[in-house]
Amino acid sequence: MKSAAGRSQLDSMIVEIELTLVSIIQGVALTVLIESSRDVITDLKFVYWPYVLSGLLVIFIFWSRAVLHIITLIRWPLEFGHNFLYIGCALIEAVSFAQLINPANWFAFGAAFIASGWVLFFYDLRLIRARQEDSRGEAGNRLYERVRRDQWINLALLLPAVFILNVACAICIRTWPEIFVHNNAHLWLIALQVLGFAGYLIYVVRFYINLAP
């Protein structure tokens, strides 16, 4: 009993560390987004407002996905590699937010951010396997099977689709700037990104609702 109680305390400590880390790094990312969007909003540069919305959706998605991973997978001992990848992803996320008024760079760094997220999802497969081995009951088995299936949906379908979208948008803007920059046709591209991120956020929320019981 003492051993189980000690392990539970260690698990709780690691969860608190992870939640604190995620909150801090997303707070930093939000700060960069605020700084980049301040003049865009106050000067009524409406053409870049969809980029601000897209950045907010990215923060919502990153935070919600991180919390889902924490409450389902994170246990003692502390996973340094997992946390280092979180910080790396947040760095690329912040740099992409700094490109708010540069559509080509926005999509290029957006693709880099998605690629770093793909690496993080792949790394977390080992955490899922570890939790499946530790599972001691039918409910736990069902939980980790759903988490594993969601992980592979993201790895094989959702993240590659968003990555390809961002790469294609960056290439289009750099190849035909007279169309996508001078004539503001990049608004169609950012609209696609916003719709994609909004759809993914809905998917994450629905996944949590189905997972919670």
The CA-based diameter of the chain, rounded to the nearest angstrom, is 70
Closest CA to 184 of 65, 50, 91, 61: 50
**What is the pLDDT at residue 118?**
96
Q: Specify the DSSP element, H or E, that contains 209.
A: helix 186-211
Calpha distance 54→193 (Å, rounded): 7
- Quickly list DSSP for 108-160: HHHHHHHHHHHHHHHHTHHHHHHHHHH--SHHHHHHHHHHHHHHHHIIIIIHH
**What is the pLDDT at residue 178?**
93
> Could you report the per-residue pLDDT of 93-112, keeping only the tens digit for each?
999 999 999 999 999 999 99
Decide: 189 and 173 in contact? Cβ < 8 Å: yes
Calpha distance 64→14 (Å, rounded): 18
Residues of the chain with pLDDT under 70: 1-6
> Could you report the per-residue pLDDT of 173-211, keeping only the tens digit for each?
999 999 999 899 999 999 999 999 999 999 999 999 988
Mention every residue, 6+ apart, whose C-beta is less than 8 A from residue 160.
Answer: 118
Overall pTM surpassing 0.85 (yes/no): yes
Give just the sign of the alpha carbon dihedral 186, 191, 194, 195.
negative
Sketch the domain layout of the chain as residue ranges. 2-211
